[in-house]
Amino acid sequence: MRRLSDDFHACLHSGFLSGITENVKADPDLTLEIRDNYINLYYKGNSLLKLRETKTGPYKAEIHSKYLANAQIPADFTPETVTDFLSAIPLLKQNIVRHGKRSAEIEYEQMIIRANNLEPRNTAEYLIVDRQYTTAEGRFDLTGIFWDRNGRKKGQTVPVCLMEIKYALNDDIREVHEQLAHYYKSIAPQSAAIAAEMQSLFHQKLEQGLYRMPQYRIDALKTLTFSPDISQFQFVVIFVDYNPNSSKLNLQKLSELPFANQIRIFHSGFAMWQQNVQPLPAG
């Protein structure tokens, strides 16, 4: 289960590891994701740090060797050594730019997290809880919740959202209906467990201050309950820079799925075609 122990959680919040969390909160280009008693820090979709808790002794850091060029960072994080990592973050980011995996899709994952979780003026209705969430039958690019702005209040039950990103003219777009059907069938028996895990993750990230928004909204978010009912889940397909002149996306096949009313299509990106440029009427 993706969750940190109370000790690890407390150390990141107010102990000697809190500098890591503070750096993430100060830098919208970094994200911190909670795993099963370890964390990953991501930059441009690449893992800048994996830090895991051990039963005894120091926290153990893993950083890809190609990002460590000209950096001296001990593998054991202690109160004395964690500052070596913190001071090396700018260098690690530069090395990721030089040597990291270049994938527009994973960079967009991180941009979507930033736009929905870290930009207070957006007041988005979708909040991202996790990225690269894995089940026995597959992996979702992003998971989150939908909090409808209409009638929004404390103590509400909200749907879990499982999100799949398709960049440009990815050939997988032709079979996206089959992918969703497979995912739905595989997760339906475990929807309650998924909702509980997502809610636990959400609360730990809220307590760590990993959502940048007004305190009154944070207070309300802490009172939300994630619906365990699979019929309330949303399946969000995010098409980034999808060419509207393409025939790869077959909306008819998506609409024929028995859970079509739970599917949401979202178009995003920066590539421009006349179909999605709106001219103003003549004055």
State the DSSP string of 179-191. Answer: HHHHHHHHHGGGH
If you average pLDDT over residues 144-173, what whole number do you get? 96
pLDDT band at 103 (very low <50, low <70, confident <90, very high): confident
- Token pair 């890591």 is found at 20
R_g of the chain computed on alpha carbons: 20
What's the pLDDT score for residue 191?
96
pLDDT of residue 93: 96
Rounded to whole angstroms, how far apart are CA atoms 171 and 168?
9
Is residue 28 within 8 Å of residue 43, measured between CB atoms? Answer: no
Q: What does pTM read for this prediction? A: 0.93
Q: Please state the rounded mean pLDDT for residues 64-70.
A: 93
Mean pLDDT of 185-191: 94
- Looking at per-residue pLDDT, the higher value among 2 and 87 belongs to 87
* pLDDT of the residue at 219: 97
Is residue 84 very low, low, confident or very high in pLDDT (cuts 50, 70, 90)?
very high
Average pLDDT over residues 29-41: 95
pLDDT higher than 80, residue 138: no
Q: What average pLDDT does range 68-80 have in this prediction?
A: 93
The conformation of residue 122, written as its DSSP 8-state character, comes to G
- Average pLDDT of span 49-74: 93
Q: Where on the phi/psi map is residue 165: left (φ > 0), alpha (ψ -120 to 50), or beta?
A: beta
Summarised one tens digit per residue, pLDDT across range 206-221 is: 999 999 999 999 999 9
pLDDT at residue 136 above 80? no
Reduced to 3 states (helix: H, G, I; strand: E, B; else coil), residue 274 is helix
Domain-wise residue ranges, the chain: 6-99, 104-276
Percent of the chain with pLDDT over 70: 100
Q: What is the mean pLDDT of residues 154-172?
A: 96
- Tell which phi-psi region holds residue 202, choosing left (phi > 0), alpha (psi between -120 and 50) or beta: alpha
pLDDT, one tens digit per residue, over 222-278 is: 999 999 999 999 999 999 999 999 999 999 999 999 999 999 999 999 999 999 898
**Residue 104's pLDDT band (boundaries 50, 70, 90)?**
confident
Checking if the pLDDT of 137 tops 80, the result is no
Mean pLDDT of the chain: 94
> Is 283 a residue whose pLDDT tops 80?
no
